[in-house]
Structure 1
Amino acid sequence: MLQTWLVGDGLSEVEQRKASKGTLFIPFSQFPPKKLRTDCFYHTTPALQIPLAFENVDSCENWLPRRVMSKWRIAGLVHALEGWEEHECGYTTSNIEKVWEAALKHGFQPLKVPTHLKS
């Protein structure tokens, strides 16, 4: 049975080694965990594929694939594209569904979760 661990910056090597084989680590923090296990899956930090219409964008963080941006950067872009004026720093005052729909409307796409181990 596949286990899923939501992990933050505080994930220690000792904790990571306690995970069972095939565990999926999904970070909710800005930086991904160190990949210690070859028998587990590692998802990227919260991020989305950028729209094909975006030009001259390669990568913003060196741990993300090309044409993928972290949710923090995308949030700023969607905010500007929608002309939103409110400031939600520290709070979730916006409707999450509204934000998600706006991101999809502008061409941002979710990333696929890894489903197989690299040999």
Structure 2
Amino acid sequence: MTHPDFTILYVDNPPASTGFYKDLLGVDPVEASPTFALFILETGMKLGLWSRHTVEPKASMTGGGGEIAFRVENETKVDEIFAAWKARGIDMLQPPSTMDFGYTFTAVDPDHHRLRVYAFAG
């Protein structure tokens, strides 16, 4: 079975979104143009940012249709990242909270894609 290793987010302004994710992830894109950027992360995951205005076939949905999850080692790290992202002015949807699966918070990127940071319970 082939397993996915690449996520693409449709964005309104690829250069602005590239700057947001470069700062958030602490890595430079391996490819960047006015309509597309590609990040390769330490986990091996690839994250693409593609202009919603130029993607073919046309995308019927943009922003907020899913989320990227960032697993961290413990609740303290969740709180630290929450404080750091909030200080950067990143919009928050959910403050640090305990849920069925663990401790988490949810933020959004400039296109309203959800960003969840979590530590598993246990």
TM over 0.5: no
Structure with bigger strand share is 2
Q: Whose Rg is larger? A: 1
The two structures have a TM-score, normalised by structure 1, of 0.23
